[in-house]
Amino acid sequence: NYAMNQLRSAIISLPFYNRQLIQTILIMASHIQDHVDHNKMCPEALATVFAPVCTGFESTLGNIPKKKKMMMMRTIERHIKTNKHWTEIWKLMIEQRDLVISILDQQNYVDTSYHHQTTEKGSRPQITKKGSLFHLPKTHTIRRILST
Q: When comparing pLDDT for 67 and 82, which is higher?
A: 82
Give backbone dihedrals phi and psi of 37, rounded to 5 degrees, phi first: -65, -30
CB 28 within 8 A of CB 17: no
**Residue span of the structural domain in which 9 resides:** 2-113+122-147
The confidence score (pLDDT) of residue 44 equals: 96
Work out how many domains the chain is built from and give that number: 1
Q: Which of 2-6, 32-36, 49-53, 123-127 has the lowest mean pLDDT?
A: 123-127
Q: Which residues contact 92 (CB under 8 A, 6 or more apart)?
A: 3, 4, 7
CB 105 within 8 A of CB 19: no
pLDDT digits (tens, 9 = 90+) for 76-96: 888 888 889 999 999 999 999
pLDDT band of 109, cuts 50, 70, 90: low
